[in-house]
Structures are given as C-alpha cells and as structure tokens.
Amino acid sequence: MIKREIQKEIQEHILNNKVLILKAPAFTQRTKLVMESFPKHTQQLLFDFSDKKTQKQFKDFSPENFKSRVGSSKCIVFREAQLLSNLQQLIELVLFEENDLTLVCICSYDPPLDDLLTEALAQNNLILSFQAPGFKEIANQLGLIKVEKNLEERLIFGNYPAVLENPENAAALLQKITDQIAGYPFSKSERINKKDKLKKMLQYIAFHIGEQLSYNQIGTKSGLDNETVERYVTMLEKAFILFRLPVYSTNQRYELGKTHCFYFFDNGIRNSFIQNFNEPEIRNDLDQLWKNWVISERMKKLRQSKTEKNPCFWVTHTKQQMDYMEVGQKEMKAYQLIWDKSDKFRVPAMFLKYYPKALTYKINRSSYWSFLSKD
C-alpha cells in the first residue's frame, strides 16, 4: 500500500473529533486507509451503503435503533455514505448526543447534507478529500529512479493503487473501474439515466483532452442536450473522474474568454475509455497523455496543499496557447507541456506582449520533478 500524505491528517482528526467526512474515488484504498488510521485495539464497525440491504437497515432512523446497530463499537465507518438519505440525522446524532463515538463517512460524491452543516464541517476542516496516489507519494515510497524508469507506464496505466500493485493486470483492473463509473449511482438525488450516452460522452472527451470543447460539441457527439452534458460533467467532477481547466483572459484582443479544457484525474481511466493501452512508441497522442498526466498530478498537489493559486490555461482565436498556468496574488506562471525534450520551447508572442511579467517554463520528461513536488 502506497503511504499517503493525508493519513497523518486523518489520524489527527479521528483522535480529536467525533465526525470526519472523507471524499475520495473508489479503488483508492480509502477504506483500508481509514481503518489503519484508528487507534490500535479500538473496536471498528464498517457499514457499506453500496449494498441496498445495508441502506434498508438504516432507513427507519431513531437514536435507539442506531445505538442497537453499532453496539459497543466506538469507531464507525460508513462507506459510500452519500447513498444514505438520512445521513445528516445520523451525523447530528453523533455530534450532539452524549456518546464517545467516532464516525468516518467515506464518500465517492458530495454527501446529502444541508448548507449549514456542510459549512460548519468545512470551517472545522472536517471535510477532507484525496485522489489516487500522486507523483510525490509514489516517489517517496518507490524511489525517484524507479518512478522515472516507469514513467511511461504511468502515462498509460495511471496511478490507481491496484494498478501499481498488479501491473500485469492493469488493463483489466482499469476496465472494471470504468465500467463502474458508467453505471454508478452518484447519490440518492443525482443519477445517470442515460448510461450508454454517458459512456459516449466520456469517450469523446477522452479523445479530445486538452482541447477547447463546448457542451454543444460534446452533446452532438454523444446524443445529449447541452444542459444534460453540463450536469453530467459537474457530477463527474464531484466524483473525481475529470475536471475542467478554465481559460485565463483579461479581455485582450484575440483572447478567448469563455472556454475550458477537459482532463481526467487519472491517465489510466482516460485510456480505458478509449481502449488504448498501446506503448508510447506507437501512439499518436503522446503529448495529450503528457499534458493530462502533468496537469492532473499538479491539480492533486494543489488541492492537497489547499493553495490559493488558480490553475488555468491561455488561448487565442489564432490558436496561440499556453497549456497550463497558475495565477496567484503576486505572480503568474505559465507552462508549455511537451513530452520530447528536444522540441523547441516557443512562448507565443502575443502572450509575452500581454503579460510581460509572467514567468514562463517548458515542462518535459526531464524537467517535471521539481514542478510536481513544489507547493
């Protein structure tokens, strides 16, 4: 099991708080991580709400029947807690009743809590999130030399723990994950009712990562209306499957000001949707793979460090582009992401004209280490 940087934070929260919401995608060893974060010799009890029988057991809620279900256990774990319609009542019971319980709710999606409770939990840093292991976590455990040696594997198969531990079965494992994504009930109130079209939508996005896509383009190719595409994209973002990278603009001439690019949080998931696990030497999408991997790894890092930098990209009507940017209060950094270190680094003249104080960099396979490691 890859040692996760967030585990220490989880352990501290479990020791000092009665409730913790942990948002993370399935297949990231999140349950094991939580179970190993409890103090030794504590009695733990796990309820998995992806099982409809377990959901039914908690349907008729009262403080008495909840206590009877948890028995003498002091450490309670709800897996897929977002599927429990009365989750808020159970959390409030643990928070406000006299008891010595600790409840950890593992969610693949936003839990069904009202704004007031969500805000209170967030203000007390009781909502944590993480994705599949990041570059630095893998490097800390396996060593940078091994990570560099296996870099091309990461571009193809991604970072999911099961894939790292069983590389010979990577394609089959990723297919299992993507099959679940296409048919997953994200929450009690938000569901996918057009699963075949969702899969087409994800396939189309996977073929066009790093490109400016409109909801209309995606909908036309997948048979969905614009509103449904936007709703599905929002759900997939909340479920840690993909993310939108917004465009940066100060309304300069020729700048595009209303667009975004799509990226997947994991390269293996992306490649599974297009059924392409070919080696890099025979692929024609190597720069796409590189951009997706570098940007998704950087996004993981930024989210974990809770930085105030705003990630984005820049593009003009004339196709001049900076692939990735981070805009902070004091500085702007812009990056071209090119796999082949022999390719020349060209900063668009228009970008230099509009943003002369911006720091510009080229990130290739020889220069990514410090970029993915620094805060």
Same domain, yes or no: 82 and 141: no
Same domain, yes or no: 117 and 248: no
Dist. CA 191–CA 189, nearest whole Å:
7
Q: Contact at 8 Å (CB) between 279 and 264?
A: no
Q: Would residue 121 count as lying in a domain? A: yes
Q: Would residue 215 count as lying in a domain? A: yes
Same domain, yes or no: 98 and 149: no
Query: What pLDDT is recorded for position 85?
Result: 85
Nearest to 209 by CA among 152, 255, 266: 266
Report which secondary-structure segment, H or E, holds 162. helix 161-165
Same domain, yes or no: 80 and 155: no
Tokens matching residue 302: 């930024």
- Rounded to the nearest integer, the mean pLDDT of the chain is 90
Same domain, yes or no: 120 and 67: yes
Dist. CA 177–CA 167, nearest whole Å:
15
Nearest to 85 by CA among 13, 15, 234, 185: 185
Same domain, yes or no: 278 and 333: yes
Dist. CA 150–CA 120, nearest whole Å:
43
Using DSSP bridges, classify how beta strands 102-107 and 19-23 pair: parallel, antiparallel or unpaired.
parallel
The mean pLDDT value for 279-302 works out to: 93
Q: Would residue 250 count as lying in a domain? A: yes
Q: Tokens 């809770």 label which residue?
A: 306
Tokens matching residue 17: 């708080």
Q: Would residue 2 count as lying in a domain? A: no
Q: Which pLDDT band, with edges at 50, 70 and 90, does 370 fall under?
A: confident
Residue 192 has pLDDT above 80, yes or no: no
Q: Tokens 């940007």 label which residue?
A: 295
Q: Which of 61-75, 83-97, 185-199, 303-317 has the lowest mean pLDDT?
A: 185-199
Same domain, yes or no: 143 and 217: yes
Tokens matching residue 25: 């995608």
Q: Would residue 359 count as lying in a domain? A: yes
Q: Look at residues 91, 111, 129 and tell me which one is the last residue of a structural domain.
A: 129
Same domain, yes or no: 231 and 195: yes
- Burial degree of 269 (CB within 10 A; 0-12, 13-18, 19+): buried
Q: Look at residues 91, 106, 129 and tell me which one is the last residue of a structural domain.
A: 129
DSSP 94: H
Tokens matching residue 369: 């280490």
Angle subtended by helix axes 195-207 and 226-238, to nearest 10: 80
Same domain, yes or no: 240 and 364: yes
Same domain, yes or no: 55 and 115: yes
Residue 297 has pLDDT above 90, yes or no: yes
Tokens matching residue 283: 């692929």
DSSP 282: G
Using DSSP bridges, classify how beta strands 242-246 and 332-337 pair: parallel, antiparallel or unpaired.
unpaired
Same domain, yes or no: 184 and 332: yes
Q: Would residue 44 count as lying in a domain? A: yes
Same domain, yes or no: 294 and 148: yes
Phi, psi of 35 (to 5 degrees): -60, -35
Residue 196 has pLDDT above 80, yes or no: yes
Domain, as residue range, for 12: 7-129
Q: Would residue 1 count as lying in a domain? A: no
Tokens matching residue 194: 């057009």
Q: Which pLDDT band, with edges at 50, 70 and 90, does 308 fall under?
A: confident
Dist. CA 252–CA 66, nearest whole Å:
59
DSSP 2: P
Of the chain, the percentage scoring pLDDT greater than 70 comes to: 99
Domain count, the chain: 2
The mean pLDDT value for 296-321 works out to: 89
Query: What pLDDT is recorded for position 252?
Result: 93
Predicted confidence (pLDDT) per residue in 86-139, tens digit: 899 999 989 988 888 899 999 999 999 999 999 999 999 999 999 999 988 998
The mean pLDDT value for 143-164 works out to: 92
State pTM to two decimals.
0.92
CATH code at position 41: 3.40.50.300
User: ∠167-24-269 over CA atoms, to 5°?
Assistant: 40
Q: Would residue 51 count as lying in a domain? A: yes
Three-class secondary structure of residue 109 per DSSP: coil
Nearest to 275 by CA among 212, 199, 167: 199
- State how far the alpha carbon of 85 is from the alpha carbons of 26, 46, 82, in Å: 20, 18, 8
Q: Look at residues 64, 95, 129 and tell me which one is the last residue of a structural domain.
A: 129
Report which secondary-structure segment, H or E, holds 337. strand 332-337
